[in-house]
Amino acid sequence: MNVITNYLFVYGTLQKHERNHHWLNGAERVAEQAWTKGRLVESEHEYPGLVRSDDAIVYGELYKIDEDILKKVDELESFKEDNEGNFFDREIRVVDTDGSKYEAHVYFLNQPNVEADEQAYYDWKVTRRLQKETPLYFAYGSCMDHERIEVADMLDGFDAVGLGVLSGYDMDFTTRAEDGGRADITEKKDSTVEGIVYKITDEALEYLYMREGVYAGKYRPAFVDVEVEGKKVNMLTFIVIDKEESIAPPDHYLTEIVRGGKKFLTEKYINAIHDKVDKLRKG
């Protein structure tokens, strides 16, 4: 029997660490940072639905699947190709990742009168987690610098746990301020990002939202698996939304990263940051 290979974009309970993820057993995760056009709505049953919209973005994960897995997910979503009364419709849509664009299956609500959430972009997993707890936080850029946090009188809200290592990502400078680049992480196979893991307070979380420009649409909150103290923990970090071509950061920003990270980051990793910045400055 020929196996048909497809891509599937998931944005709710099928995501990693969520209750229906086992329906994707055997699927290959292509990207855990993926997005497509659409507007999320909440359900009374603790799962989201997606409404067609060209004015909003939904974040989720992208998987490579075969025909058997697609049939199982159709069953979960009560979707039948010959049934016009489906609760969900399945369509092929363009899905973006850090590296490429894909055409993937996406499930949309077949409910024309549902009211959509008013957020311009949305990540159901982030919203759900933050409603339940204030999670651990992974800092990889200037937010490792305690001097800047102390200036903001927020140091009491950050309790350093130790070195965190994020696999499958690269740290780069893909967003710009007036004086140069600022740090970001992008998915990249066989790369790692080092940073500091913190226990944070609710007040510290609000400070991070303001500092990272979340409300202004600069960075977005996301959850990633970080190794800390010998085990992987799913924790909060912040990722640039509109990535640009990498640009060298200014001296003061590089100083903040190194000064903040030197207590925890390995010497090899700090040297790699210096090398990356030198290459960007040389063009």
**How does DSSP classify residue 117?**
P
DSSP reduced 3-state for 58:
strand
Q: Are residues 172 and 105 in the same domain?
A: no
Distance CA 108, CA 39 (A): 10
Give phi and psi for 103, each to the nearest 5: -100, 125
Q: Which residues are catalytic?
A: 212
In this prediction, residue 44 has a pLDDT band, given cuts at 50, 70 and 90, of: low
What is the chain's mean pLDDT, rounded? 93
Residue 128 lies in a domain: no
Please identify, among 88, 123, 158, the residue that sits at the C-terminal boundary of a domain.
Answer: 123
Q: What is the CATH number of the domain that holds 58?
A: 3.10.490.10
Number of structural domains the chain divides into: 2
> Domain range for residue 143?
133-282
Phi-psi region of 152 (alpha: psi -120 to 50; beta: other; left: phi over 0): alpha
Distance CA 250, CA 213 (A): 19
- Lookup result for tokens 């299956």: 105
Distance CA 86, CA 189 (A): 38
Percent of the chain clearing pLDDT 70 (strictly above): 94
Asked if residue 44 lies in contact with residue 68, where contact means CB atoms within 8 angstroms, the answer is no
Q: Are residues 73 and 158 in the same domain?
A: no
Q: Are residues 23 and 79 in the same domain?
A: yes
Q: For the full predicted model, state whether its pTM sits above 0.95.
A: no
Q: Report how many helices (DSSP H) and strands (DSSP E) the chain contains, helices first.
A: 6, 13
Reply yes or no on whether the pLDDT at 115 is more than 70. no
Reply yes or no on whether the pLDDT at 5 is more than 80. no
Q: Are residues 251 and 189 in the same domain?
A: yes
Distance CA 206, CA 243 (A): 23
Q: Are residues 70 and 142 in the same domain?
A: no
DSSP reduced 3-state for 76:
helix
Write down the pLDDT at residue 1: 39
Write down the pLDDT at residue 119: 61
In this prediction, residue 117 has a pLDDT band, given cuts at 50, 70 and 90, of: low
Strands (E), the chain: 5-10, 28-37, 39-41, 49-51, 57-66, 88-97, 101-109, 121-122, 137-139, 158-177, 180-200, 219-228, 231-240
Please identify, among 123, 152, 167, the residue that sits at the C-terminal boundary of a domain.
Answer: 123
